[in-house]
Amino acid sequence: MSSSPSPTATDEISWVLNPLLELPGVLHAVVATGDGLVEGASDGLGRASAERVAAMTATVHAAARAFTAAFTDTERPRLAQTVVESDLGYAIVVPAGENTSLAVFTAPDAQLGNVAYQMQLQVAALGRALASPSRQQVAGAPGAGATGAGSAGTTPRS
């Protein structure tokens, strides 16, 4: 077992990512908007990689919703999580408030139950502190309400 330091995040939402990055086997974490922009990323992930991950997070989340809708004839199913397993590890995406997702990448031997549980704890905290309104709902945009992003304290699933 190596004694290398855990990856960290230095941006303004590091308080969301760092607890996840301290878990054994968690290699990277990204908070992404629904339209694929980076809200925050772990230090070990370069900017270009973080941007690709954010774009793919939005795509995977939308595809998983469409996939579920096709199976269930439901217009907008609420996803709890999407997991992609590969020989290199697991990518896990969870909704993290309005128009926001949290994604982590783990080693193949990570304790997925613990990672998923900790992700939900961080999502609850993130939902209280951060909401990314969709492009149409940005303050001042046509059709935008006076209150903006929604109520604090909720973590709606998208």
**Which tens digits make up the pLDDT trace of 30-61?**
999 999 999 999 988 999 999 999 999 999 99
Q: How many domains does the chain have?
A: 1
Q: Which long-range contacts (CB under 8 A, 24 or more apart) does 128-133 make?
A: 128/152, 128/153, 128/155, 130/13, 130/16, 130/31, 130/39, 130/96, 130/97, 130/100, 131/97, 131/98, 131/99, 131/100, 132/33, 132/34, 132/39, 132/97, 132/98, 132/99, 132/100, 133/98, 133/99
For residue 71, being part of any structural domain is answered with yes
Structural domain span for residue 111: 14-134
For residue 85, being part of any structural domain is answered with yes
For residue 78, being part of any structural domain is answered with yes
Q: What would the mean pLDDT of 136-155 be, rounded to a whole number?
A: 43
Give the predicted TM-score (pTM) of the model.
0.74
For residue 147, being part of any structural domain is answered with no
Residue 62: count other Cβ atoms within 10 Å of its Cβ: 15
Q: What would the mean pLDDT of 52-77 be, rounded to a whole number?
A: 94
For residue 143, being part of any structural domain is answered with no
- Rg for the chain, CA atoms, rounded: 16
Q: Residue 82 belongs to a domain with what CATH number?
A: 3.30.450.30
- Percent of the chain predicted with pLDDT > 90: 61
For residue 142, being part of any structural domain is answered with no
Closest-CA residue to 136 (of 99, 86, 85):
99
For residue 150, being part of any structural domain is answered with no
The band of 11, judged by pLDDT with boundaries at 50, 70 and 90, is: low
- Taking the CA atoms of 139, 34, 121 and 1 in sequence, report the sign of the dihedral they define: negative
Report how far residue 19's alpha carbon sits from residue 30's, in angstroms, rounded to the nearest whole number: 13
